[in-house]
Amino acid sequence: MTADDEIKSSVASRILSHGGRILEIGTGPGGGFMPAILKHDPDASVTISDLSPTVVRQWKHFLDRTLHSPNLSYAVFNFCDIPFRDESFDVVSDGGGIGNTEQGSRASALREVYRILKPDGILVTSTGFVTRETLAALPESAQSVLKEKRPDIFEDLYEDTVLAGFSRIESFICGGWDTDGDDSTIADLARSLGVNLHFTSYIRFCFK
């Protein structure tokens, strides 16, 4: 088991001990926390969702063949405008979806998640950001280009999470990644500036 698998497995246990209906958002090809949740409890009640119909269709195709669970459902929607009623889920799990929000803002995604969580519900979310210390260690010319072109990479979303209404937030730093060897747009920008950018990863448990 890799360190990442171990972290996901322990987060999945915590999600399952909370219990109830789980909504995985921005499921993506990696599935976020959903594969670890279903490994622990194949009967868990999980709604698998993404903006991309292809992603959702492929997960349905795979899980129909491998798990045959009547407790899985599938939905295609924008998590900045979630088509579920207020207070309808116990847990929302997000393995990097909100951090990579398309077609909306990360603040509106957090507000929507808050809205659809039950009164004692939790959001479990993970993403990464570039810390102030990492930024300060870069050449000044690279710092100013990054601050101007990609201010989003320096936001850890803590303030937006509080503003969405969450009453208690527990954050755990869990490693990180480097742009060297990555083919994302931020990695291309870092390379064009001659720097390697380190992203610090965290997992957050946000209580309604």
Ligand X SMILES: C[S@@+](CC[C@H](N)C(=O)[O-])C[C@H]1O[C@@H](n2cnc3c(N)ncnc32)[C@H](O)[C@@H]1O
Contact residues: ligand X, CB under 6 A: 26-32, 50-52, 55, 78-80, 95-97, 100-104
Q: Give the whole-angstrom CA distance, residue 27 versus residue 45.
A: 15
Half-sphere exposure at residue 129, Cβ-oriented, CA atoms within 13 angstroms: 18
In the complex, minimum distance from the CB of residue 44 to ligand X, in angstroms, rounded to a whole number: 17
Tokens of 197: 């950018």
In the complex, minimum distance from the CB of residue 150 to ligand X, in angstroms, rounded to a whole number: 16
- The nearer residue to ligand X, 36 or 138, going by C-beta atoms, is 36
In the complex, minimum distance from the CB of residue 137 to ligand X, in angstroms, rounded to a whole number: 26
Spell out the residues 6+ positions from residue 155 whose beta carbon is closer than 8 angstroms to its own: 106, 129
- The nearer residue to ligand X, 50 or 156, going by C-beta atoms, is 50
- The nearer residue to ligand X, 32 or 121, going by C-beta atoms, is 32
Q: List, in sequence order, every beta strand (DSSP E) within 51-167.
A: 72-76, 89-95, 117-129
- The nearer residue to ligand X, 20 or 96, going by C-beta atoms, is 96
Tokens of 25: 């958002």
In the complex, minimum distance from the CB of residue 136 to ligand X, in angstroms, rounded to a whole number: 27
